[in-house]
Chains A and B, each alone.
Chain A
Amino acid sequence: MAGTSRRVVVTGMGALTPLGLSVDEYWDGLVAGTSGAATIESFDPEGLRVTFACELDGFDPEDHLPAKQARRVDPFSQYALVTADQAVKDAGLDPEAMAQDEKDRIGVVYGTGIGGIKTFRDQAEEFIEGGEKRTSPFFIPTLIPDIAAGQIAMAHGFRGPNHAMVSACATGNHNIGDACRMIQEGDMDAALCGGTDACVTRLGIAGFASMRALSTRNDDPARASRPFEAHRDGFVMGEGAGALFIETLERARARGAHIYAEIEGIGMSADAHHLTAPDPEGGGVCLALNRALDNAGLAPTDVDYINAHGTSTPLGDEAETQALKKVFDDHAYDLNVSSTKSMTGHLLGAAGAIEAIATIQALRHDVVPPTINFEEADPACDLDYTFNEAEERPVNVALSNAFGFGGHNTSLALRAYDE
């Protein structure tokens, strides 16, 4: 077999985020400490417990996709298709000009935490009103979580392995990690991978609000997402997508691609504890972090920066802090931690993907993006969370954490690429 030693690098990135509709705008927003949260504009949130979110301002699918395709897919697939296009172009590839043999070695591993919730809600209403006679033939193939990966393959002719890992808010990391493993194992030479979600809908907000998972700071949206801060009261829903084009180091070198970073490994585990609450001891998270270090061949002291899951929930941020202290011991206080969800909100299945991009940008630019909205310290959260201001510092090795409802834990290990 091709062996598990194939090195995998990132050569293309694409992002649609509440801070901007490109990787550059997104990164500029992060470094500037900008909040993407505001009162919901895409529908009237009147009557909901939570009336704000981090939406994709100015996104019109028909600016990016053919009109029929834009109307035929759920927003989660629109976001996936657009970020895939961005990442392919950013990697310097023109699929229309590529030989099919080459495209047959490129896979798509692109997931969503929720899938087509807008489609589900609209079609359920049609069904309740009109029965089977009014049930669209496009209902199922628009709703299913794997369809974004299928749509991307159709758009570019990529015929390598194709699927969608689903693990709630750990989806982005699982898809990147799985794609990386399949490249290492020789199933394919390159992949378009990432995550997407479009859950800022009345039903989506109602569902998460009903769990009491969301911040209710309706009168001050921009300051609602405050991970690791004393007065945090839940996460802020975001929407969007992130895509990476990844390939073997050999392939990237052979085609003279610009290399952004190297994927060193991924650690995965379960809490085996509760539907939605984290293990307060952080046991499952410790397993994922240690497995990420082992998989990447890293010592804890090698790590300079951790892009935390840090959703701004009272329990989650404390449990993650506990886990970091157990795994990194004294070094936990030396490295920089930050939660970019303080600015983007929580993009669910896209969170791991856009946070991998934030982490790669930190490695490239030696800048740690901040955790904004710090006012008062929580004694249980006593690490260096890079509060309020971005920090310049050497960043050579970084982890990006993503955990999901169901107790799924992931940590992705990334390294700055050095010729």
Chain B
Amino acid sequence: MASDIEETVKSIVVDKLGVDEADVASDASFTNDLGADSLDTVELIMEFEKEFDLTIPDEEAEEIATVGDAVGYLEEKA
């Protein structure tokens, strides 16, 4: 189950940020390593919300900085 969420998160990141799947490591930071700007980050959170059918409050979204953060958060909430 965990790996399904991880695969889905990685595929969203690859699609939205236009990066290589190989670069989407668990500790990769969206902004520092994967080239996301502030708008990209908002869009990523929206895609996670849509894909996993949940609402991520802004204050919780601010804590999601890396691929691993997103996977961990979604494993807990989704």
Contact = CB atoms under 8 A, between A and B. Distances in A.
B8 interface: no
Given A133-B55, A134-B50, A68 B43 contact: no
B58 to A, nearest CB: 12
Please list the 5 inter-chain residue pairs (A to B) with the smallest Cβ-Cβ separation, ordered nearest first.
Answer: A68-B18, A137-B42, A137-B39, A67-B18, A137-B43
Given A138-B39, A141-B39, A133 B18 contact: no
Contacts of B55: 133
Given A138-B39, A138-B43, A141-B39, A133 B17 contact: no
B17 A68 contact: yes
Contacts of A141: 39
A133 B43 CA distance: 10
Interface string B45-70: 01001100001000000000000000
Contact of B46 (A67, A68, A134): A134
A210 interface: no
Most chain B CB within 10 A, of A66, A68, A134, A141, is at A68
Nearest to B39: A137
B49 to A, nearest CB: 7
Name the prevailing secondary structure of the A interface residues: helix
Nearest to A141: B39
Interface of B: 17-18, 39, 42-43, 46, 49-50, 55
A71 interface: yes
Contacts of B18: 66-68, 71
A183 B50 CA distance: 49
A136 interface: yes
A127 to B, nearest CB: 12
B55 to A, nearest CB: 7
Most chain A CB within 10 A, of B42, B46, B50, B55, is at B46
Interface string A63-96: 0001110010000000000000000000000000
Given A68-B18, A71-B18, A138-B39, 17 more contacts: A66-B18, A67-B18, A68-B17, A130-B50, A133-B46, A133-B49, A133-B55, A134-B46, A134-B50, A136-B43, A136-B46, A137-B39, A137-B42, A137-B43, A137-B46, A138-B43, A141-B39
Interface residues of A, number: 11
Name the prevailing secondary structure of the B interface residues: helix
Interface string A45-74: 000000000000000000000111001000
Interface of A: 66-68, 71, 130, 133-134, 136-138, 141
A366 B5 CA distance: 65
B64 to A, nearest CB: 15
A68 B18 CA distance: 5
Nearest to A136: B43
A154 to B, nearest CB: 12
A70 B59 CA distance: 32
A66 B17 CA distance: 12
A67 B50 CA distance: 23
Contacts of A136: 43, 46
A66 B19 CA distance: 11
16 contacts: A67-B18, A68-B18, A71-B18, A133-B46, A133-B49, A133-B55, A134-B46, A134-B50, A136-B43, A136-B46, A137-B39, A137-B42, A137-B43, A137-B46, A138-B39, A138-B43
A105 B39 CA distance: 30
A78 to B, nearest CB: 15
Contacts of A71: 18
Nearest to B17: A68
A106 B49 CA distance: 43
A141 B39 CA distance: 10
A319 to B, nearest CB: 45
A305 to B, nearest CB: 46
Contacts of A67: 18
Contacts of B46: 133-134, 136-137
A356 to B, nearest CB: 35
A141 B49 CA distance: 22
Contacts of B39: 137-138, 141
A136 B39 CA distance: 9
Nearest to B49: A133
